[in-house]
Amino acid sequence: MQTHKPIVYWLLTGCLLIFIMVLVGGITRLTHSGLSITNYKLISGTIPPMNQQEWNEAFELYKQYPEYQKLNTHFTLEDFKDIYFWEWLHRVIGRFIGIVFIVPFLFFLLTKKLSGATLKKCLVLLFLGGFQGFLGWYMVKSGLVDRPDVSHYRLAAHLTTAFLTFAYSLWVALDLIYPERKQISLGIRNLVRFTFFFLILQIVWGAFVAGLDAGWIHNHWPMMNEGKLVHETVYIEHDSLMKNFLEGKSGAQFVHRYLAYIVVGFCVAIWYRTKGRNLTLPQKYGVQSILTIVALQFILGVFTLVYAVPLWLGVTHQIGAFFLLAAMTFTLHRFSK
């Protein structure tokens, strides 16, 4: 750890910045600010409009696209400034993350601080970071053609890639912090892997729910509609069953609800299977953390739904998913070979 301390700090700083970016991205989504900047300028786009003329030009450009023409014709310049801020901040943080990753990477590379294995992992991280930026542009582009909203598929790809980039950055840092690992039974290790897989699925469907604005319907729990059975309340919106689960608001929320029960069940199973075993202290902390965080995240999900996704609850629920992924990544690392 002492030898690799600067690299570990660099990777953990990247994790923190990705967390901040996802937080701001959640606010951007929930305030419907993502389509406020309709052009992409890598360098000059870092500086927001600085005078009245530049603000008027940006607003006039915004008026040429579907979100203004179909939803926000009532917007004044002041309204536009409010949504512009969150999208601008989101993009600036993305650019800053790129600098924080690339500049130290080149320094560590030139000073031969990176081992062969760590170098390969860092190259993967750089690819993920660049791909994430591309997905952000690709997502926004889908809302500038004929519909005043982005594709929920592209939103899910953009969000999930951010989560996976964070998880992989944390994993590489953990490789340097904990070079030695205690072996654990294959059954428990596979159980943690399955839990991680279903958590990623849950994050994907959470993005579908966000992209489809599906959190504003079925605002009851445990039933989807008050006093009615589940099968009576899932609205059929498409001929195909799979399309209902992938593209229907009701179906997407249904999957997200029941994946939550599966994830909670797997987390409880991990705790039960490891109870009484001779675990290391980090392994114990990992199991305790996922059990605690998944319970809090489930409760947050219920309140977010029941209160129809108020901004602060929606953002808090997304943060909870981030902490749960961090805990799951740590636990999986501690139980891996």
Q: What is the pLDDT of residues 101-114, one digit of tens each?
A: 999 999 999 999 98
Closest CA to 86 of 48, 126, 131: 48
Mean pLDDT of the chain: 89
Asked if pLDDT for residue 290 goes beyond 90, the answer is yes
Instruction: Choose among 44, 35, 126, 145: nearest CA to 80.
Output: 35
Question: Which token pair is 74?
Answer: 């009532």
Average pLDDT over residues 305-317: 92
pLDDT for 4 equals 82
> Model-level pTM greater than 0.85?
yes
Report the candidate in 7, 93, 95, 75 with the shortest Cα–Cα distance to residue 35. Answer: 75
CB 333 within 8 Å of CB 180 = no
